[in-house]
Amino acid sequence: MNRRVLMAGAAGAPVLATFATASAAQAAPVGRTAQEESAARSGGTFKVPIPAGPLWSNEQAQEVGPWVAAAHGGTFTGQWWTVVNGRMSVVEVELPVQQDGTDEWTMDVPAGPLWNNDDAKAKCPHICASYGGTWTGQWRTVVWGKLSVAECTFRV
């Protein structure tokens, strides 16, 4: 069974990721090692495409990919592809399911429009989780009716 999840990527741009859920009896999908499949089943890591702007060559993608991955707390897999010719490419990033480091920081992330505290309570925990963080309970409106931010805590 495949599960599609809409995540927030670079600068809040939506990223559609497909996660395969497999029973223990199923073989690892093509392109995945048994170790990667085991990590995925145990909740260790997952891979998502993240927008990286236009990339013009594999050489450029191999240079830019690690920067984009690091900005999201992940590792560049070396894979990339163009999604809109001349305008947007994505790089594949492997992310840990949960950041368990001892260093912690807090920052605001784009959350779309939030209308009130009840709306924020429903949305922000999921929005922060989509960035790999935990919601602090704080939010604010930046542009009324268009953009609010959620305060998230991250660990590395």
DSSP string, 112-134: E---SHHHHHHHHHHHHHHTT-E
How much is the mean pLDDT over the chain?
A: 80
Question: Mean per-residue pLDDT for 138-150?
Answer: 97
4-40 pLDDT, tens digit each: 344 444 444 444 443 333 333 333 344 545 555 544 4
User: Above 70 in pLDDT, residue 3?
Assistant: no
Q: Residue 47 — very low, low, confident or very high, per pLDDT cuts 50/70/90?
A: very high
pLDDT attached to residue 96 = 86
Q: Span 98-104, mean pLDDT?
A: 80
Half-sphere exposure in the Cβ direction for 129 (13 Å, CA):
8
Is the model more confident about 76 or about 12?
76
Confidence of residue 72 (pLDDT cuts 50, 70, 90): confident
> Per mean pLDDT, which of 31-35, 42-46, 151-155 is the most reliable?
151-155
As a whole number of angstroms, the distance between CA 35 and CA 67 comes to 25
Residue 99 or 69, more confident: 69
How far apart (Å, rounded) are the C-alpha atoms in residues 123 and 87?
30
- Please tell me the pTM assigned to this model: 0.62
Q: How many residues does the chain have?
A: 156
Poorest-pLDDT segment among 22-26, 42-46, 47-51: 22-26
